[in-house]
Amino acid sequence: MSKVIQRREGASGPSTYVGDSRVRVADIALMYEALQLELVAERIREAVPHLTEPEIIAAIRYWREHPEEIAQEIERDEDALKDLKSSA
């Protein structure tokens, strides 16, 4: 572990902090994910402007909570496309 990142004992157990600050790496990770989600939602909204940002964020959260289900759906779509291409 670098000197910039420190593991210290906290009230609820060990946590990883940025330097000597009280900012946890987990806090930075949560902020990063929130900003990334916001930027991604903004880009998706440009592509599908009829959806609202809360709808897009709900869809992304659902995908994150049910990755196998969505992966299967994507795989079915890809298989269907391959079938169409091979029969053309």
> Is the separation of the CB atoms in 17 and 24 below 8 Å?
yes
User: Which region holds residue 19: left if phi is over 0, alpha if psi is between -120 and 50, else beta?
Assistant: left
pLDDT at 2: 64
Local structure of 83: helix, strand or coil = helix
pLDDT at 11: 79
pLDDT at 52: 92
pLDDT at 35: 92
Please state the pTM of the whole predicted model: 0.63
The list of the chain residues with pLDDT below 50 reads none
